């Protein structure tokens, strides 16, 4: 973050034609953007929404309301332009990129051992790292992966403590029996992968999935390139939380786009001390909530950069 640009943005903000802080969160967001863009007048010209897809061995435990083949079917839907995120990305003027990671090769069932080998995890991280496009000035990461709320709940338990019960929710709408299977799977995964509790990247490798690792890779790359990031919901935040637990400050360039209706997301955001921009009861994943939040960041930047000062407008301040 460019502290000088941030300070100039704050000074400019103080002179704009409005009572101090009357734009509330928009002002904070604009000043935060200014720091990462290195200018007192930030603009969002090339927002990128990167959606990563992966398949999960833990689906063998019947943890989802949908069969595993839906992951590939939804990737085709993204590519054809028919999914929610396609409409949302167009609505907010963002470019959507879709990255399917070895869908025909699910991760191993983490109730029996690590979901990924080190090589597999590194390859997925690299896919995310490489997915960030030249010129992107705001990044949203999201995912598609049947079974991945189970993986995210396991990661959260490993990173933040607690048991399955603290982190398991309905996901895409599993029934009561499915919830019980999710609880069992998460507790079994934690027991089968003791290293996951000790080391954030081991939590990612042992309990995560390729799309989750790819999101972590993309978010880390954005940090290095000073590209601000909007996180999506529960699964994306679990990916980001791995980075936060591994390296202090790793999410300084990120904001929470929304609070998901998935029960444990709120708690995860509290643990990360992140205040969601939107709370609209969304629980779709596929970057949908984060993408909608682009509209708020764009508006925040527009006010910061386009408003007249009291002097310019000859308004009595």
Catalytic residue among 112, 202, 286, 311: 286
Is residue 308 part of the contact set for a second copy (CB under 8 A)?
yes
Is residue 103 part of the contact set for a second copy (CB under 8 A)?
no
Query: Looking at 18, 95, 197, 266, which residue binds a second copy (CB under 8 A)?
Result: 18
The stretch among 49-57, 157-165, 194-202, 271-279 that binds a second copy (CB under 8 A) is 271-279
Cα dihedral 115/120/121/127 (nearest 10): -130
Is residue 249 part of the contact set for a second copy (CB under 8 A)?
no
95-100 vs 229-231, strand pairing mode: unpaired
**Three-state secondary-structure class, residue 143:** strand
Q: Which helix (H) or strand (E) holds 97?
A: strand 95-100
Q: Which phi and psi angles does 55 have, rounded to 5°?
A: -110, 155
Is 48 within 8 Å of 139 (Cβ atoms)? Answer: yes
Q: CB-based contacts of 34: which residues, under 8 Å, 6+ apart?
A: 5, 6, 8, 9, 40, 41, 42, 304
Is residue 269 part of the contact set for a second copy (CB under 8 A)?
no
Query: Looking at 24, 119, 176, 191, which residue binds a second copy (CB under 8 A)?
Result: 24
Residue 286 bears catalytic tag: yes
The stretch among 74-82, 119-127, 156-164, 199-207 that binds a second copy (CB under 8 A) is 74-82
Give least dist CB 304 to a second copy, A: 9
Give least dist CB 291 to a second copy, A: 8
138-144 vs 229-231, strand pairing mode: parallel
Is residue 66 part of the contact set for a second copy (CB under 8 A)?
yes
Query: Looking at 70, 101, 144, 268, which residue binds a second copy (CB under 8 A)?
Result: 70
Give least dist CB 168 to a second copy, A: 16
Give whichever of 23 and 230 is closer to a second copy, judged by the CB atom: 23
Is 185 within 8 Å of 193 (Cβ atoms)? Answer: no
Cα distances (Å, whole numbers) of residue 69 to 39, 76, 89, 211, 224: 46, 11, 24, 15, 35
DSSP for 133-178, written as a single string: PTT-SEEEEEEE-TTHHHHHHHHHHHHH---HHHH---TTT--HHH
Task: Tell which positions 107-166 bind a second copy, by CB under 8 A.
Answer: none
Q: Give the binding site for a second copy (CB under 8 A).
A: 16-26, 65-67, 69-70, 73-74, 76-77, 80-84, 86-88, 90-92, 172-173, 261, 277-284, 288, 292, 295-296, 298-299, 302-303, 305-308, 312-316
- Which sequence positions are flagged as catalytic? 286
């Amino acid at each position: 973050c460019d502290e000088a640009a941030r300070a100039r943005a704050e000074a400019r903000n103080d002179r704009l034609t409005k009572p101090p802080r009357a734009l509330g969160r928009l002002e904070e967001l604009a000043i935060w953007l200014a720091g990462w863009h290195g200018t007192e007048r930030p603009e969002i010209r090339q927002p990128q929404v990167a959606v990563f897809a992966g398949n999960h061995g833990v689906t063998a435990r019947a943890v989802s309301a949908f069969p595993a083949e839906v992951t590939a079917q939804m990737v085709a839907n993204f590519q054809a332009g028919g999914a929610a995120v396609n409409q949302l990305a167009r609505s907010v003027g963002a470019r959507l990129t879709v990255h399917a990671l070895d869908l025909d090769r699910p991760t191993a069932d983490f109730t029996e051992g690590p979901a990924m080998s080190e090589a597999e995890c590194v390859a997925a991280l690299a896919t995310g790292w490489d997915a960030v496009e030249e010129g992107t000035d705001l990044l949203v990461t999201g995912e598609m992966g049947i079974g991945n709320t189970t993986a995210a709940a396991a990661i959260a338990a490993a990173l933040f403590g607690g048991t399955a019960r603290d982190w398991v929710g309905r996901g895409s709408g599993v029934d009561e029996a499915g919830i019980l299977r999710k609880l069992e799977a998460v507790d079994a995964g934690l027991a089968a992968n003791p290293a996951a509790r000790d080391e954030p990247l081991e939590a990612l490798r042992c309990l995560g999935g390729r799309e989750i690792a790819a999101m972590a890779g993309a978010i880390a790359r954005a940090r290095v390139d000073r590209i601000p990031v909007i996180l999506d919901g529960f699964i994306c935040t679990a990916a980001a939380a791995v980075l936060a637990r591994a390296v202090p400050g790793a999410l300084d360039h990120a904001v929470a786009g929304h609070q998901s209706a998935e029960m444990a997301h709120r708690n995860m955001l509290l643990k990360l001390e992140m205040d969601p921009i939107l709370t609209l009861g969304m629980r779709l994943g596929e970057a949908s909530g984060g993408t909608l939040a682009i509209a708020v960041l764009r508006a925040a930047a527009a006010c910061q950069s386009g408003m007249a000062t009291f002097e310019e407008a000859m308004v009595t301040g």
